[in-house]
């Protein structure tokens, strides 16, 4: 009986460690760009926003995802030249947080 319990526990651990991939597909009524150039990505507490250039008409498009669902495609009406972004490097600085360090004030007359 112990062997079955140990085998079941190992099987459960292996199943919980498996990696899955979610493929998000846009609904048929959404005007999703077919050929796009990725510019940047940012996020909020519950949404992920990706900025693209639609290469068919060089328009900036913002895709909004909520968890694994595409919830909004915003066509901005801003036209960009994709060649300006050809060698652009996206750095992983999404919502950086740096605490400002203020210099401490002197407490005695000798410290001044």
pLDDT in tens, 72-100: 889 999 999 988 888 877 665 555 556 66
Q: Look up residue 87 and give its DSSP letter.
A: T
Model confidence at 23, in pLDDT bands (50, 70, 90)? low
- What are the tokens at 4? 């079955």
pLDDT tens digit sequence for 38-71: 888 888 888 888 999 999 999 999 999 888 788 8
Q: In the chain, which ranges are continuous DSSP H helix?
A: 2-16
Q: What is the pLDDT of residue 108?
A: 65
Q: Which tokens go with 92?
A: 């992983």
Give the contacts of 9 (CB within 8 A, at least 6 positions apart). none
- Which of residues 24 and 88 earns the better pLDDT score? 88
Confidence category of residue 33, pLDDT binned at 50, 70, 90: confident
| 3-class SS of residue 43 | strand
Residue 45: per-residue pLDDT? 82
* pLDDT above 70: residue 107: no
Diameter of the chain measured on Cα atoms: 77
Contact 44, 21 (CB under 8 A): no
β-pair type (69-79, 36-43): unpaired
The whole-angstrom separation of Cα 40 and Cα 35 is 16
């Amino acid at each position: 009986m112990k062997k079955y319990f140990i085998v079941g526990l190992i099987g459960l651990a292996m199943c919980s460690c498996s990696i899955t991939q979610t493929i998000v597909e846009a609904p048929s009524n959404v005007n999703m760009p077919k050929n796009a150039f990725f510019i940047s990505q940012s996020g909020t507490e519950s949404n992920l926003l990706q900025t693209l250039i639609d290469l068919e008409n060089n328009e900036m498009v913002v895709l909004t995802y909520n968890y694994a669902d595409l919830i909004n495609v915003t066509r901005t009406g801003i036209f960009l030249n994709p060649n300006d972004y050809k060698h652009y490097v996206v750095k992983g600085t999404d919502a950086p947080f740096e605490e400002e360090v203020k210099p401490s004030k002197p407490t005695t007359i000798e410290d001044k």
